[in-house]
Amino acid sequence: MNAYHDIDGVPCAASKEPLTEILRFKWGFRGYVVSDYGAIEMLKTFHHVAADEIEAAVQALEAGIDIELPRVKCYGEPLLKAVRDGIISETLIDEAISRILRVKFLLGLFDNPYINVEEAAGAFDKAEDRALALRAARESIILLKNDGILPLKKDLRAIAVIGPNTDTTRGLLGDYSYTVHLNCEVDAVKIATYLRQ
């Protein structure tokens, strides 16, 4: 998966150096690369290095991103148009597809493509998994009660929490929480506006 940021002004989603030259040629990675959520579209909306979804798709595929996530926006009709208009070669698409199919063959997905739904459903949401998640959550909340883990005095009455995310829900929940994803596109516009000031 690529990253959202840029390196020396080149967005990672459009950079062949990390995604192909280093990852595939230098390190010998033989799998496929998926886009970080919305990273391909962000070449247009956030980084402003692509004029439209067609350019974004071409840049990302040429850089080495094989699959667009979480939905097909640039790799659908825009990429098809790029092929029809001769902007990108089918050979490059064939290479991306071959990497994806290779992994599927190695996983045996073509030998046994169907699953037993009841059996698969029983593998998820088990009571012991929920118990472990609850224990991890309880044990990770150390700032609410100082039981000697923190290097603080027992009689301390207050702690100052300082920083730009101290009173924001987004800062408390993290960047991959559901509420953040609801506002992802709005936040990208706000960030881009702030960076241009």
Per-residue pLDDT, averaged over 26-46, amounts to 94
Tokens of 136: 């991890």
Question: Which position has the higher pLDDT, 192 or 86?
Answer: 86
Tell me the DSSP string of 105-154: HHTTTTTS----HHHHHTTSS-HHHHHHHHHHHHHH--SS--SS-SSS-T
Q: Is 50 helix (H, G, I), strand (E, B) or coil?
A: coil
Mean pLDDT of 45-56: 96
- For residues 98-120, give the mean pLDDT: 89
Is 187 an active-site residue? no
Nearest of 56, 35, 37 to residue 47 by alpha carbon: 56
CA angle 147, 152, 157 (to 5 degrees): 85
Would you place residue 174 in the very low, low, confident or very high pLDDT band (cuts 50, 70, 90)?
low
Domain borders along the chain are 6-106, 117-196
Q: Which residues pair with residue 7 across a beta bridge?
A: 10
Q: Calculate ∠ Cα 87-93-98, nearest 5°.
A: 165
When pLDDT is averaged across residues 174-185 and rounded to a whole number, the result is 60
pLDDT band at 131 (very low <50, low <70, confident <90, very high): very high
6, 8, 36, 85: the catalytic one is 36
